[in-house]
Amino acid sequence: MIRIGSRGSALALWQAEHVKARLRDLGHEVEIQVITTTGDRTLDRPLESVGGKGAFLKEIEEALLEREVDLAVHSLKDVPTALPDGLRLCAILERADPRDALLSASGGSLRALPDGARVGTTSLRRQAQLRIARPDLTLADLRGNVDTRIRRLREGHYDAIVLAMAGLTRLGRLADVSEVLDIDTMCPAPGQGAIALECRADADVTLRAVASLQHPVTERAVTAERAFLRGLGGGCNVPLGAHARADGPLLHLTALVASRDGRDVVRGTLSGDDPEALGGELARDFLARDAGRLLGS
């Protein structure tokens, strides 16, 4: 029996059920255990004040280490580059659309929003890039699961919100999308759109069970993105985006680091065939152009 640990949100459970179904197709017995995380419990404070996106992993990783579950299913963009001792990523599934989407009350695009429109997002990365594209907008925090965020938009609390295309696709909410934001306008978070599986480093049975779920093209792309993040010494709580696109054996890595107010930005693109080396080299280029100063802004 493979026991999957998952958060209880609709998106997290979709991802866990997807992995469960694929493992069952391979002949494994699987069950899901719902685990409530710090990030799920704490909705009245900014995410960065309770540990950033890692707050959605802490209790699940503790359950792995205590052998209460065998496998964790995460959105890779929420997973820090440094994992707790004794844990490892054991498979990266094929990535869905990595881009972000604008959902607006009027159905219009980002460019069409009226001056001063109120846009909801808690992501520092999205906030900085929205300020770059539309410095006139009024940005406001927005926490909660996908359905909660869309409901608050429909109730009139916001003129627009920004969500990940991958989650909207998986939950069947593409009809709510007003505009898919291109990579140049809204560079995604490293790993966005990919599902990551985490297990104990010594869990040989689990490692063998999930090995065939690995998607090599996605794994190479997100390795470059996370190598860039790691090379900057950045966590998940900085205005940083990175997206790698495969072109045969080559990867084209595009990245952005911005100040929180969006006034200063460093952008860059680099190509190569070694994901780790590519991400590290682009990170060094960014640091040479003073991007480290922006990470602490």
Residue-wise pLDDT tens digits, 225-240: 999 999 998 655 689 9
Which pLDDT band holds residue 133 (cuts at 50, 70, 90)?
very high
Q: In the predicted model, what is the mean pLDDT of the chain?
A: 93
Contact 170, 194 (CB under 8 A): no
**pLDDT classification of 296: cutoffs 50, 70, 90:** low
Residue extents of the structural domains in the chain: 2-93+194-214, 100-180, 225-295
Q: Does the active-site annotation cover 78?
A: yes
Q: What are the residues whose beta carbons fall under 8 Å from the beta carbon of 204, sequence distance 6 or more? A: none
| CA 198 centroid distance within chain | 15
Quote the pLDDT of residue 48: 56
Asked if the domains at 2-93+194-214 and 100-180 fall in one CATH topology, the answer is: yes
CATH class of 2-93+194-214: alpha beta
CATH superfamily entry for domain 225-295: Porphobilinogen deaminase, C-terminal domain (3.30.160.40)
Is 186 a residue whose pLDDT tops 90?
yes
Q: Which of 40, 70, 78, 100 is catalytic?
A: 78
For domain 100-180, say whether CATH 3.30.2350.10 is its number.
no
> Among 44-48, 212-216, 241-245, which is the least confidently predicted range?
44-48
Q: Is residue 113's pLDDT more than 60?
A: yes
Segment 193-216, tens digit of pLDDT: 999 999 999 999 999 999 999 999
pLDDT at residue 21 tops 60 = yes
Residues 6+ apart with CB under 8 A from 1: 29, 30, 31
Residue 47 has pLDDT above 60, yes or no: no
